[in-house]
C-alpha cells in the first residue's frame, strides 16, 4: 500500500467527526481526519452558538474525559417551560420528576470544539490532514478505494462522512436524501438580563416560529442564549430588520427581567436533509451528513453523537473479530441500530415545527388541546423527557 493509506478516514472535523475520532482512539483504533479548513481557521471558529447537550451525550463525553475539561463552563438545565405565545407555561418539564440529573446542559460551541481539537491533536491514534478538501472519491474497487484531493490521493478501507449538512462525500457516494426548505431563519445570539435564570429554559411558540431562551453559564452576568426562528418572509422584511431588537423584546417579554444587552446576531437558514441510506459500499454517514434536522428541539448534535458512539462500537467489534473495518454484516447491523432513532427524530422535529409554526384556527386549537393533554399527563411528560435526554435511544 502507498504511504497515504489509512484504514479509517473521517471526512470533517466538526463536533461529530472530532468526537468520533476520540471514541475510536479510546478503543485504540487509528483514524485519519481530513478537513477542508486549515488549522488556524479550525481553531479560530466563528461559531457563536451554544449546544443543548442531553444527559445521554453528557455521559458519553464524560466517559471520554471531555466533560472535565469544560471545568465549570456549562449550564445545567433544571426546568423547561413550554408555552404557546406569551401564555403561561403550558408544560413544565422538571428534572426533579425523573431523578436522572439535569435535563441537559448548555455548552458554548467554541469551547467544546477547542477542547475536542486539542484532545484530537494530542492523540497518538489520530492523524490530521488540515486544509484538505475532498474533490472526488473513487471506491469502485473496495480494496483500492481512494479520495482525490488537490495535492494527493488518500487510500482507505472505510470512509466516515462527518462533513455536515452539505456533505460532498454524500454527493460523491451518490447517496440520495430527503430535503425540505423550511423557509425559516434562525437568529442566534446571546442576551444579558437583570434577573437570574436558575437553569430555566423557555420555548415559546409563535405563528412566525419558535423562540428558545436557553440558560447560559456566566459567572459575571445573567446570560441566556437565544435561538429565534422566524419565517424567512418576515425575517427579510425591512420593518422587521429595522426593528429587530424591539420585535425580540416583545417576544422575550422581560421573562428574566429587563433586557440589558444583545450580542452580535448570526443567521442560519433552516432546512432538513435526511438520507435514505446510512451507508453505501465502504462510505458511511454520521451526524449532519446523514441527517441534519430542525433545531426546534436542540437534538442534532445529540443524534449525531449517538451515530458516532454506535459506529465506534461496531468498529470495535469488527476489530475484536479480526474483520476489516468495512464488513457488510456489521454495517447492516449498525444501520438497523441507528435507523429508528434517526427516523423518529427527523419526523418528530419536522412535525413539531409544522404544528407549532403558522397560524389558523384549527392549528391553534389542536396545539392548545395537545399542550393541555400533555401537561396533565406525567407519563407523557416523563417519557418525552427521557427521550429528549437521550436516555431512551442510547445503545449503551
> Which one of residues 15, 211, 278, 389 is an interface residue with ligand FAD (CB under 6 A)?
15
> Which one of residues 91, 158, 188, 202 is an interface residue with ligand FAD (CB under 6 A)?
188
In the complex, what is the shortest distance from the CB of residue 161 to ligand FAD, in angstroms, rounded to a whole number? 9
> Which one of residues 26, 30, 37, 392 is an interface residue with ligand FAD (CB under 6 A)?
37
What is the distance between the alpha carbons of residues 300 and 276, in angstroms, rounded to a whole number? Answer: 17
What is the distance between the alpha carbons of residues 301 and 188, in angstroms, rounded to a whole number? Answer: 16
Residue 299 in contact with ligand FAD, rule: CB under 6 A: yes
> Which one of residues 163, 231, 247, 341 is an interface residue with ligand FAD (CB under 6 A)?
163
Q: Give the residue at shortest CB distance from ligand FAD.
A: 14
Residue 227 in contact with ligand FAD, rule: CB under 6 A: yes
The answer to whether the beta carbons of residues 70 and 111 sit under 8 Å apart is yes
Residue 390 in contact with ligand FAD, rule: CB under 6 A: no
Residue 163 DSSP code: -
Calculate the alpha carbon distances from 205 to 18, 95, 163, 211, 251 in Å.
Answer: 34, 22, 31, 6, 10
Residue 13 in contact with ligand FAD, rule: CB under 6 A: yes
The answer to whether the beta carbons of residues 54 and 389 sit under 8 Å apart is yes
Residue 301 in contact with ligand FAD, rule: CB under 6 A: yes
Grid coordinates belonging to 334:
449498525
Residue closer to ligand FAD by CB (options 215, 287) is: 287
Number of residues that bind ligand FAD (CB under 6 A): 33
| Burial grade of 108 (CB within 10 A; 0-12, 13-18, 19 or more) | buried
Residue 6 in contact with ligand FAD, rule: CB under 6 A: no
What part of residues 99-158 is at the interface with ligand FAD (CB under 6 A)? 133-134
Backbone angles phi, psi at 108, to 5 degrees: -75, 130
Residue 16 in contact with ligand FAD, rule: CB under 6 A: yes
In the complex, what is the shortest distance from the CB of residue 91 to ligand FAD, in angstroms, rounded to a whole number? 19
3-class DSSP state for residue 55?
helix
Residue 287 DSSP code: G
Q: Which residue has the cell 500500500?
A: 1
Residue 153: how many other CB atoms lie within 10 Å: 13
Residue closer to ligand FAD by CB (options 37, 382) is: 37
In the complex, what is the shortest distance from the CB of residue 2 to ligand FAD, in angstroms, rounded to a whole number? 20
Residue 293: how many other CB atoms lie within 10 Å: 25
Grid coordinates belonging to 337:
441500530
Grid coordinates belonging to 24:
475510536
> Which one of residues 56, 102, 199, 304 is an interface residue with ligand FAD (CB under 6 A)?
304
Residue closer to ligand FAD by CB (options 168, 222) is: 168
- Count the helices and strands in the chain (H runs, E runs): 12, 20
Residue 168 in contact with ligand FAD, rule: CB under 6 A: yes
Residue 69 in contact with ligand FAD, rule: CB under 6 A: no
Mark the segment that binds ligand FAD (CB under 6 A) among 31-39, 118-126, 351-359, 379-387.
Answer: 31-39
Query: Which residues of the shown chain bind ligand FAD in the complex (CB under 6 A)?
Result: 11-17, 34-37, 49, 51-52, 133-134, 162-164, 168, 186, 188, 227, 268, 287-288, 295, 298-302, 304
Amino acid at each position: 500500500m502507498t504511504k497515504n493509506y489509512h484504514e479509517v478516514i473521517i471526512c470533517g472535523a466538526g463536533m461529530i467527526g472530532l468526537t468520533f475520532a476520540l471514541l475510536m482512539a479510546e478503543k485504540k483504533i487509528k483514524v485519519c481526519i481530513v478537513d477542508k479548513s486549515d488549522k488556524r481557521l479550525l481553531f479560530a471558529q466563528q461559531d457563536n452558538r451554544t449546544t443543548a447537550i442531553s444527559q445521554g451525550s453528557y455521559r458519553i463525553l464524560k466517559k471520554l474525559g471531555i466533560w472535565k475539561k469544560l471545568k465549570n463552563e456549562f449550564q445545567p438545565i433544571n426546568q423547561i417551560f413550554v408555552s404557546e405565545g406569551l401564555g403561561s407555561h403550558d408544560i413544565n418539564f422538571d428534572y426533579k420528576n425523573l431523578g436522572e440529573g439535569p435535563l441537559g446542559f448548555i455548552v458554548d460551541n467554541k469551547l467544546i470544539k477547542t477542547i475536542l481539537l486539542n484532545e484530537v491533536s494530542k492523540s497518538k491514534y489520530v492523524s490530521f490532514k488540515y486544509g484538505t478538501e475532498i474533490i472526488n472519491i473513487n471506491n469502485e474497487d473496495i480494496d483500492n478505494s481512494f479520495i482525490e484531493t488537490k495535492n494527493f490521493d488518500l487510500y482507505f478501507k472505510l470512509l466516515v462522512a462527518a462533513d455536515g449538512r452539505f456533505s460532498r462525500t454524500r454527493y460523491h457516494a451518490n447517496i440520495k436524501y430527503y430535503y425540505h426548505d423550511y423557509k425559516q431563519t434562525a437568529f442566534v445570539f446571546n442576551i444579558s438580563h437583570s434577573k437570574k435564570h436558575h437553569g430555566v429554559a423557555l420555548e415559546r411558540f409563535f405563528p412566525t416560529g419558535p423562540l428558545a431562551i436557553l440558560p447560559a453559564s456566566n459567572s459575571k452576568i445573567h446570560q441566556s442564549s437565544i435561538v429565534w426562528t422566524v419565517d424567512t418572509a418576515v425575517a427579510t422584511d425591512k420593518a422587521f430588520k429595522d426593528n429587530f431588537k424591539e420585535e425580540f423584546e416583545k417576544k422575550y417579554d422581560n421573562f428574566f427581567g429587563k433586557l440589558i444587552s444583545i450580542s452580535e446576531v448570526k443567521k442560519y437558514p433552516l432546512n432538513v436533509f435526511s438520507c435514505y441510506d446510512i451507508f453505501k459500499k465502504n462510505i458511511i454517514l454520521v451526524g449532519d451528513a446523514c441527517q441534519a434536522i430542525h433545531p426546534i428541539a436542540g437534538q442534532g448534535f445529540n443524534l449525531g453523537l449517538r451515530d458516532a458512539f454506535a459506529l465506534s462500537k461496531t468498529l470495535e467489534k469488527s476489530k475484536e473479530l479480526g474483520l476489516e473495518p468495512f464488513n457488510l454484516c456489521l454495517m447492516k447491523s449498525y444501520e438497523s441500530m441507528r435507523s429508528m432513532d434517526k427516523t423518529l427524530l427527523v419526523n418528530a422535529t419536522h412535525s413539531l415545527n409544522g404544528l407549532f409554526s403558522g397560524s389558523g384556527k384549527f392549528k391553534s386549537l389542536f396545539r392548545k388541546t395537545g399542550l393541555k393533554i400533555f401537561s396533565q399527563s406525567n407519563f407523557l411528560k416523563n417519557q418525552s423527557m427521557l427521550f429528549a435526554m437521550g436516555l431512551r435511544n442510547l445503545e449503551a
